[in-house]
Amino acid sequence: MKEIHVSLTAVRQVRRPEGAPSAADFEIVTQPLPDLADGQVLVENRYLSVDPYMREFMEWGGWELGAGLEGRTIGEVVESKEPTLPVGATVFHRHGWATHAVLTSTDARTITPADGVPLSAYLGILGGTGLTAYVGLTRIAQVRPGDDVFISAAAGAVGSAAGQIARLLGAGRIVGSTGSAAKVEHLTRDLGFDAAFNYHDGSVTDLLAKAAPDGIDVYFDNVGGDHLAAAIDALRERGRVAWCGSVAQYNNLRTPPSAPHNLFDVVGKSLRIEGFLVRNHLDAREEFEEFLIPHVRSGQVLVNETVTEGFSSIVDAFIGMLRGENVGKMLVRV
- Taking the C-alpha atoms of residue 78 and residue 136, their distance in angstroms, rounded to an integer, is 36
Give the pLDDT band of residue 6 (cuts 50, 70, 90): confident
Q: pLDDT tens digits, residue range 44-86?
A: 999 999 999 999 899 887 899 999 999 999 999 999 999 999 9
Q: Which helix (H) or strand (E) holds 56?
A: helix 53-60
What is the Cα gyration radius of the chain?
21
Instruction: Using DSSP bridges, classify how beta strands 26-32 and 100-104 pair: parallel, antiparallel or unpaired.
Output: unpaired
Amino acid at site 41: V
The model's pTM: 0.92
Name which of 161, 80, 101, 97 is nearest 127 in CA terms. Answer: 161
Q: pLDDT tens digits, residue range 13-44?
A: 999 998 899 999 999 999 999 899 999 999 99
223 SS3 class: coil
- What's the CA angle centered on 143, arms 246 and 203, to 5 degrees? 45
pLDDT at 254 over 80: no
Report the 10 Å Cβ neighbour count for 78. 15
Give the pLDDT band of residue 259 (cuts 50, 70, 90): confident
Phi, psi of 333 (to 5 degrees): -95, 115
- What's the CA angle centered on 260, arms 255 and 262, to 5 degrees? 160
Collect all residues with Cβ–Cβ distance below 8 Å to 132 and sequence separation of at least 6.
158, 161, 244, 278
Instruction: Using DSSP bridges, classify how beta strands 174-178 and 195-198 pair: parallel, antiparallel or unpaired.
Output: parallel
148 SS3 class: coil
- Taking the C-alpha atoms of residue 53 and residue 250, their distance in angstroms, rounded to an integer, is 8
Name which of 270, 205, 206, 275 is nearest 239 in CA terms. Answer: 270
User: Do 166 and 143 contact (CB within 8 A), yes or no?
Assistant: yes
Name which of 9, 99, 326 is nearest 318 in CA terms. Answer: 326
Report the 10 Å Cβ neighbour count for 279. 9
What pairs with residue 307 in β-bridges?
A: 331
Mean pLDDT of the chain: 94
**DSSP 8-state code for residue 104:** E
pLDDT at 253 over 80: no
- Taking the C-alpha atoms of residue 228 and residue 234, their distance in angstroms, rounded to an integer, is 10
What pairs with residue 198 in β-bridges?
A: 178
What is the average pLDDT across 139-148? 98
pLDDT at 1: 43
pLDDT at 277: 94
What is the average pLDDT across 118-126? 97
- What's the CA angle centered on 148, arms 146 and 151, to 5 degrees? 135
Collect all residues with Cβ–Cβ distance below 8 Å to 142 and sequence separation of at least 6.
240
Q: Greater confidence, 246 or 296?
A: 296
